[in-house]
């Protein structure tokens, strides 16, 4: 029996939702729908940061419009598949994504992975603050970026404290409104002669193409650490398939659409301020789009606070058996988390594009091995069969406190990428011979998947072999 008592209060009340936090969602409380889940993931990418990411093709990698769009589509299609596979785990297990890491890394080992995800959410929150502030600055024609960052952080914090139920409802609204504005913006940008002015410095280069493709993969896998947080509200019967396609279609459609707009804007971005370039390109329609993007980013950014705090809860509950999360602790943690991210945004706003480019690349390096191990364990080795109650036991139950196989395989996945890494801070020795084409993430997926799969399969089958040997010799 689970050590957590069943909560009987209706889950439509926000206070009850917060009380349950990382606990399993009972099947009689799973009222999620395919449509609702689709709009969650469609709306979450209707943000100015997605525009900035699409603009990296021309501005950072020197790619033409056609090659940028090609890389964006391929990268998101590949990465979205991985994220959707993670989402399909939610209906089966009913628990948040990073808590599932205890099944591969042990009770305490899983907290290390939750800590990595926590840092990831902080980085995306800070990045969204900068771009949202740039949107408002372009609308009001001022350089008060610091004020914009603080205001946007306050808005996101207020929504996160109120609860994620509000964010989910707002996503449905913003996905439609911002989606319509994005389509109109693309049409205006295509009709603007400035967009297609000669760009002799842009074209195709292998390193740039694979760099942009890798960013597309990263963008989707960045959602993998919390896709099950929402799909766990889907019914267990038939929910896995519904969760997969709702998540996949929502993520890929929303991201590709907005990144294509970003690619168009990137052709005219000269000063590193993509949102200002968007405003100039759209003319009189620009302020409307920029203001809507700014509001959407400020509100949707609350999801990064909330998910980061959920990871914090997973970590803190492993520190001591005496720690019990309540509303006051959650609110204090939320305020502290938002404050740290806001400070990071204020300090890094001047070199945002370079910092953000490195951030998403490094993020890929640390997420890929976890994703590989989780998917191999869930779909190949255990085929979705886990003892969820054991994941809440301090001794880890059958998963233990620390899973050596999972942790070592993850470390191997990081190490094997080092020779191939391509960032402004560090470039591996094999990067130059490969023309600085970033293939580290491919190695980082294949190697830990193979190491963990073979090693864990042997460990799982060993008890069965011993039992059969004992039976053959007449042993008890």
pLDDT in tens, 30-63: 777 888 889 888 888 888 888 888 999 998 889 9
Spell out a b/e string for 353-365, using b for 16 or more CB atoms within 10 Å of the CB, else e.
Answer: bebbbebbbbbbb
pLDDT at 164 over 80: no
Under the banding of pLDDT at 50, 70 and 90, the label for residue 19 is: low
The CATH number for 292's domain is 1.10.4160.10
**Following DSSP, what letter does each residue of 265-312 receive, concatenated?**
HHTT--SS-HHHHHHHHHGGGHHHHHHHHHHHHHHHTHHHHHHHHHHH
Which carries the bigger pLDDT value, residue 394 or residue 72? 72
Spell out a b/e string for 110-124, using b for 16 or more CB atoms within 10 Å of the CB, else e.
Answer: bbbbbebbbebbbbb
Radius of gyration of the chain (CA): 23
Query: In whole angstroms, what is the distance from residue 423 CA to residue 366 CA?
Result: 14
pLDDT at 465 over 70: no
User: Which structure tokens are listed for 214?
Assistant: 């890798």
- Asked, for residue 354, whether it belongs to a domain, the answer is yes
**Following DSSP, what letter does each residue of 26-82 receive, concatenated?**
PGGG----HHHHHHHHHHTT-SHHHHHHHHHHHHTS-B-HHHHHHHHHHHHHHHHHH
- Asked, for residue 297, whether it belongs to a domain, the answer is yes
Domain that holds residue 99: 32-362
Considering its fold, how many domains does the chain have in total?
A: 1
Query: In whole angstroms, what is the distance from residue 325 CA to residue 392 CA?
Result: 14
- Asked, for residue 388, whether it belongs to a domain, the answer is no
Query: In whole angstroms, what is the distance from residue 394 CA to residue 319 CA?
Result: 10
CB 217 within 8 A of CB 372: no
Nearest CA to 94 out of 382, 289, 386 is that of 386
- Asked, for residue 476, whether it belongs to a domain, the answer is no
- Asked, for residue 258, whether it belongs to a domain, the answer is yes
% the chain with pLDDT above 90? 30
% the chain with pLDDT above 70? 87
pLDDT at 253 over 60: yes
Average pLDDT, the chain: 82
User: Which structure tokens are listed for 180?
Assistant: 């319509």
Under the banding of pLDDT at 50, 70 and 90, the label for residue 6 is: very low
pLDDT at 153 over 80: yes
- Asked, for residue 118, whether it belongs to a domain, the answer is yes
- Asked, for residue 446, whether it belongs to a domain, the answer is no
- Report pLDDT digits (tens) over 348-376: 777 765 676 677 677 778 888 999 999 99
pLDDT at 472 over 50: no
- Report pLDDT digits (tens) over 207-224: 899 889 988 988 898 888
- Asked, for residue 451, whether it belongs to a domain, the answer is no
Give the model's pLDDT for residue 332.
Answer: 81
């Amino acid at each position: 029996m689970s050590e957590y008592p069943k909560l009987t209060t209706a889950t439509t009340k926000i206070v009850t939702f917060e009380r349950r936090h990382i606990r399993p969602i009972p099947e009689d409380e799973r009222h999620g729908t395919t449509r609702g889940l689709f709009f969650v993931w469609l709306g979450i990418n209707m943000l100015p940061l997605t525009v900035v990411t699409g603009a990296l093709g021309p501005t950072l990698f020197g790619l033409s419009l056609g090659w940028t769009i090609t890389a964006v589509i391929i990268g998101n299609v590949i990465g979205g598949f991985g994220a959707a596979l993670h989402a399909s785990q939610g209906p089966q297990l009913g628990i948040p994504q990073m808590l599932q890491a205890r099944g591969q890394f042990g009770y305490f080992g899983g907290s290390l992975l939750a800590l990595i995800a926590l840092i990831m959410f902080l980085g995306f929150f800070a990045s969204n603050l900068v771009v949202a502030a740039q949107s408002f600055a372009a609308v009001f024609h001022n350089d008060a970026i610091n004020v914009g960052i603080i205001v946007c952080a306050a808005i996101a914090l207020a929504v996160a404290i109120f609860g994620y139920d509000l964010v989910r409802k707002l996503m449905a609204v913003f996905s439609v409104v911002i989606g319509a504005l994005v389509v109109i913006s693309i049409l205006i940008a295509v009709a603007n002669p400035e967009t297609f002015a000669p760009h002799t410095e842009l074209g195709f280069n292998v390193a740039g193409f694979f760099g942009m493709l890798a960013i597309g993969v990263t963008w989707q896998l960045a959602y993998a650490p919390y896709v099950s947080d929402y799909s766990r509200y889907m019914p267990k019967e038939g929910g896995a398939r519904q969760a997969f396609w709702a998540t996949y279609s929502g993520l890929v459609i929303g991201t590709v659409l907005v990144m294509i707009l970003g690619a168009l804007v990137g052709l005219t971005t000269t000063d590193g301020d993509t949102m200002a370039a968007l405003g100039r390109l759209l003319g009189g329609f620009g302020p409307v789009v920029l203001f809507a993007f700014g509001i959407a980013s400020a509100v949707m950014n609350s999801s990064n606070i909330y998910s980061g705090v959920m990871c914090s809860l997973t970590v803190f509950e492993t520190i001591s058996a005496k720690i019990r999360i309540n509303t006051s602790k959650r609110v204090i943690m939320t305020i502290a988390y938002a404050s740290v991210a806001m400070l990071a945004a204020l300090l890094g706003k001047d070199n945002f594009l370079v910092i953000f480019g490195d951030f998403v690349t490094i993020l890929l390096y640390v997420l890929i091995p976890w994703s590989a191990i989780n998917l191999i364990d869930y779909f190949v080795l255990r085929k979705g069969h886990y003892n969820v109650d054991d994941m809440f036991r301090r001794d880890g139950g059958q998963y233990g406190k620390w899973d050596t196989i999972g942790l070592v395989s993850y470390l191997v996945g990081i190490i094997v990428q080092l020779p191939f890494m391509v960032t402004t801070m560090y470039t591996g020795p094999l990067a130059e011979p490969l023309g600085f084409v970033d293939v580290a993430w491919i190695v980082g997926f294949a190697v830990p998947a193979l190491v963990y799969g073979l090693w864990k399969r042997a460990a799982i089958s060993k008890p069965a072999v011993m039992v059969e040997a004992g039976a053959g010799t007449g042993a008890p």
